[in-house]
Structure 1
Amino acid sequence: MLHGDVELPYEWHEELHALVHGLNDCTDDLGTAQQQLQHGVADTHNALSTHAGHLRALQHTLLYARLRPLAHIQERLTHCAQLAAQDTGKPVELLWQGIDTQMEHSVLDALTPALEHLLRNCVAHGIEATPARRSAQKSETGKIHIRLHNAGQQQLLSLQDDGAGLNVAAIRSKALALGLIAAEETIDNASAAQLILQPGLSTAAAVTELAGRGIGMDVVADTIASLGGKLRITSAAGQGCRFDITLPAPPQVEQVVALRAGSWRVALPARSLETVRRIAVDTATQALAQGVLQDDASGPLPVYWAGAVWQQSARSMEPTLEGQRSLLIVRSDSARWGLVVDEVLGTQEVTLQPPTDLEVPVPGLLGTAAQPSGQVLQVYEPAAVLSAHEARLLARHDAAENAPIAADNEPDRPLILLADDSLSVRRLAQHLLQTNGYRVATAADGLEALQWLQADNAPALLIADVEMPNMDGMELLRRVRAEARFKQLPIVMLTAHIAGPVSQKALDLGAQAFLTKPYSPNQLLAQVRRYCTTVVAQ
Structure 2
Amino acid sequence: MSFPDPIAVFRTEAAELLEQIEAGLLDLNVNPGDKDQVDAVFRGLHTLKGSGAMFGFDALAAFTHHCESAFDRVRKGEVPATQDLVAAVLEAKDHMRLLVDTPLGDHEAMSEALLTNLRRAVEGAGAPAKAEGPQERRYSIHFSLPRDAMANGTNPLGLLDELRELGDCRIIADRSAIPALGTLNPVDLHLSWTVELATTEPRSAIDDVFIFVMDDMQIEVIELQDEPRVPDAPAADPTVAVPEQAAAAAKLPAKGSPTVDAKSAKAAENVRVPAERLDELMDRVGELVIAQSRLSQLAGGSGDLQLRAVSEDVERLSGELRDTMMVLRMVPVTQLFGRFRRLVHDLANETGKMIDLVTEGETTEVDKSVIERLADPLIHLVRNSCDHGLEPADERRAAGKPEAGKIFLSARQQAGEVIITIKDDGRGIDKDRVRAKAESSGLIAANASLSDQELYQLIFQPGFSTAQQVTNLSGRGVGMDVVKRTIDALRGTINVVSRPGQGSEISLAIPLTLAIIDGLLVRVGSGRYVIPLSAVEECLELSVEEDMRSRGRSFISLRDSLVPFIRLRDLFRTGTTPDPFQKVVVISTGSERVGLVVDQIIGDHQTVIKSMSKLHHDVGTFSGATILGDGNVALILDVGHLVSEGQQQEAHLRAAG
Instruction: State TM-score, norm by structure 1.
Output: 0.41
Q: Which has the higher contact order (CA 8 A, sep 6+)?
A: 1
